[in-house]
Amino acid sequence: MHDDRRITEVRLDRFVRERIIPAVYTRSVPLTLSSWDVPDEPVTVMEALRHDFVPQEPAAAWGKPWGTKWLRLQGDVPESWGTDPDTAVEIVVDLGFTNETPGFQCEGIAWRPDGTIIKAISPRNQYIPLKLLGSGMAVDFYVEAAANPDVAQGWTFAATPYGDKATAGTAPQYRLGSIAIAELNQTVWELQQDIWTLAGLMHELPMEQPRRHEILRALERMMDAMDPDDIAGTAAAGRRVLAEVLSRPAYASAHQLVATGHAHIDSAWLWPVRETIRKCARTFSNVVALMDEDPGFVFSCSSAQQLAWMKEFYPELFGRIREKVKAGQFVPVGGMWVESDTNMPGGEAMARQFVEGKGFFLNEFGVECREAWLPDSFGYSAALPQIVKSAGSRWFLTQKISWNQVNRMPHHTFNWEGIDGTRLFTHFPPVDTYNSELSGRELAHAERNYRDHGRGTTSLVPFGYGDGGGGPTREMLAAAHRTEDLEGSPKVRVGSAESFFTQAEEEYTALPVWVGEMYLELHRGTYTSQAQTKRGNRRSEHLLREAELWCATATVRTGGSFAYPAAELKRLWRLVLLQQFHDILPGSSIAWVHQDAERNYAAISAGLETLIAQASAALLGEGTQEFLLNAAPHTRDGVPALGAAIRQPAGQPVNALEQDGGYVLDNGVIRAVLDADGLIVSLSDYASGREAIAPGQRGNLLELHRDTPNEWDAWDIDEFYRRNVTALSQAQAVRLETDGPSAVVVVERLAGSSPLTQRITLAPGSDSLAITTSVDWQESEKLLKLGFALDVRADRSAAETQFGHVFRPTHVNTSWEAAKFEICAHRWIHVAEPGYGVAVSNSSTYGHDVTRNIREDDGGTTTTVRLSLLRAPKFPDPTADRGHHELTVTIRPGAGIAEAVEEGYRTNLAPRIVRGANPAEPLFTIGNTALVIEAVKLAEDGSGDVVVRLYESLGQRSAGHIKANFPVRDVYATDLLERPAEAPGVTQDEQGQAGLSLRPFQLVTLRFVR
């Protein structure tokens, strides 16, 4: 047979483009338009409807960046329309859409005159069924059109002014397209879906497979059977020709796909939070409208925050959502407040994502999510399995690891083992997208890509337009129905995530195991970009710790006369959790988002400082005596952990001497030698006598790198940055100052064109040297690193993560290790050889790198620890990180893991001195400093019970007792949601005391019943 395959395929493409698509709507009449332009920020529907609307010219340019135009659409449906059962009347609204990047351009939402939502209007979802208007054959409704600019600009990563209203300009972004009443030919539309599904499948089948050619010839016969001049009249004949190939059942061994509707809406990214709220309303209104049409449609919705917005701003829509939740169609998933970053949030914040998220879903819908749902976060902390399980969940889903640059994950369904040994059933959908259209290409890829064939048969596919929202469409549902049982295709079943996990768990029992973090081999710059946002997060986490501790202590100690501010604490916690969304905290959003974040952090700080002041005043009483409020889990300056007492003298005065143009600082605990350029050439502790700085090397060395990643500027640091570096070894000025009993060496230098001042401080009795770097950062596409070359043969580094630490090799034996050239640490990083180590802590830095080198002269090993202080990416915020920054780092020689943990808290919990009359005994004492109390708070249920969260911090089996220093009726272990739960190693001793024998990094929540 002659091969005319390509001829037929080209014929089909043109037939669809020029014949089928234009015939979907057989006829149309334009609507009469009037409009009102909102002067500034969006307004409510009822406020908009009060304004005067003026005649609107069709096809006119509209929409300054981030502006809103309200359109009124009016007209009458011709009498003869809609009488044919094969047709339906719809209003089609084109706001000036392009066919690409749905969710990244203008969007709209349709409103009835009574202020209720109809559905959204988006680039690939432009229709409104006449029946939804509820006004017979008369058309009269409104469209709220959002002129969101295309910040992505084709993903060229060029600097754009559109991310900030102050620089976005006022030029119209769009031009109105056709806005008309149209008659939908349902048979033509169904034929279009038949062709799309079959053609997509055909192109994915091997050339030698008969099924591919069978489909091709069926499509050819379909075109032959139809009259190109009468598509509407012959569409039914075309469908009859295709019916046979569409009815062929799938292979018995075909892969199974559970398709769940989804719309991964970034809570902020290339748009501000205020626009995300509207994006959610648009998407969810589309979803519930689809549910009305298709009772089998199931939609998975994560992020309690987004549904909380609906409750607050769109209560009528929220009521419709609530009904769909009851019907099992609208399914809350994930159980988190937002889809947060998981690398940088602290342990308690990560726990609160689940406390607040699951709590909201339980309270509002009576639904408990059993899966954690994080398709798009930038890597996954090794502490997550324990946190997820502690929240009462049992499954985990991610997608982003498919973006790895070098190494491919070996499994798609597996047990993920965390730092404490907890294992979590995990799925990584092989479709490699969370925005599937259920196309033939995507379905075939999922089947081919699945790495567990022969053991598992099922995977999950989330479908619907996401990132910028939009969600599933009727076309996607049509594809799902056509591929339920179709030869050559995987079998598609629309269902919930829970139904998938239940099926997969039952069929795949001998799971492979992945141990440790799931490190994303991409987006490593997110540990550093937008340093002020990261500083706000770290500061807020520790202020929340203090506020809850002192408010709980004051409530208990005053017998309740100080009222625990539960509602205000919850509000502030939720605001912090929102900022931990995976495009806010990582620094990968437009300027507007980070300006909002900084304002939020300032408000959070002010609110928490007020609560702390009120609680401490109630706790200590009126007086002039100075007390140290020690919120740290370790004794500080003679004040017990979690208590308030008079501060004790720290130690002998610091001896500071000038030497060779530099300085020697000595407090009898450690000794530091700085050269004439303010670089550390010697650092030792008296306890060990060891020198920490490698021979001939220096600490406190600032280095400036060229930082021009291939793409994803704010997200990425590419390994080749290391090849272009300028050591900032020359100081402009070095001088010695005193700060009370402390000695301070002040160093001034330039980082490129950015003036920089360091204050290197040694305090009496301190085990560490503190370095505070203040810089007016004005660089572009540069990376500033601060390094310490240490005389330590460390084959691995330990970096703090949630409720513990994670080890990473310092060598690059394999591609997996080489890919980790930039790593995340929380408050500290530690390197050691047997018997000796050095800890480096920080106040707000997350990005680090650790390298090793063998010295030729003595054969020793130099392990270099560097912190990434600042970046200056150009996209999506061309002014990212410009301005003043202050970052503190400490280096502690002769430190083990216990000292690193203590140093991390010390650096992040500044001494809080408060005047009062009486000291305050800690609510709790614990018998082993390896057991760290992370949070003290009153119970969520308002009972007045005291809840303590603690963990084993050293990575070893540790035992001790925790004692309540107030009357207690009972004590028992709970999950994160404060429900009774089993906790191995926890025993109830005498009243008010619990015995603890914990495995490495075990997390425990205890409830003390007052």
Q: How far is CA 676 from CA 426, 660, 746, 755, 756, in A?
A: 55, 7, 11, 18, 16
- CA atoms 780, 165, 101, 379: torsion sign: positive
How far, in Å, CA of 635 to CA of 646, rounded? 12
CA 546 from chain centre, in angstroms, equals 25
Instruction: Cite the DSSP H helix spans in 877-1009.
Output: 897-908
Q: Is 69 helix (H, G, I), strand (E, B) or coil?
A: strand
- Tokens 């000292």 belong to 899
Choose among 329, 331, 330, 377: nearest CA to 353.
377
DSSP code string of 161-226: GGGSTTTS-S---EE---EEEEEEEHHHHHHHHHHHHHHHHHHHS-TT-HHHHHHHHHHHHHHHHS
SS3 253: coil
Helices (runs of H) and strands (runs of E) counted in the chain: 19, 52
Please state the separation of Cα 292 from the chain's center in Å: 32
What is the rounded CA–CA span in Å between residue 899 and residue 903? 6
CA 370-372-373 angle, to 5 degrees, is 125
* Closest by CA position to 907, among listed 653, 679, 632: 632
Where b means 16+ CB within 10 Å and e means fewer, 535-573 reads bbbbbbbbbbbbbbbbbbbbbbbeeeebebbbeebeebb
Backbone angles phi, psi at 278, to 5 degrees: -70, -35
**Residue of 150, 194, 341, 376 marked catalytic:** 376
Q: Which of 363, 422, 420, 421 is nearest to 393 (CA)?
A: 422
**Torsion angle, CA of 204/205/208/212, rounded to 10 degrees?**
-110
883 CB neighbour count, 10 Å cutoff: 11
Q: How far apart are CA 491 and CA 166, in angstroms?
A: 51
Is 376 part of the annotated catalytic residue set?
yes
Taking alpha carbons only, the member of 204, 184, 196, 186 closest to residue 222 is 196
> Closest Cα to residue 430, out of 412, 415, 444, 414?
412
Residues β-bridged to residue 703: 727, 785
Task: State both tokens at 863.
Answer: 């392990």
In Å, what is the CA distance from 847 to each residue of 291, 800, 870? 45, 12, 9
895 and 839 in contact (C-beta within 8 Å)? yes
Q: Is the peptide bond before 876 cis (omega within 30 degrees of 0)?
A: yes
| Catalytically active residues, by annotation | 376
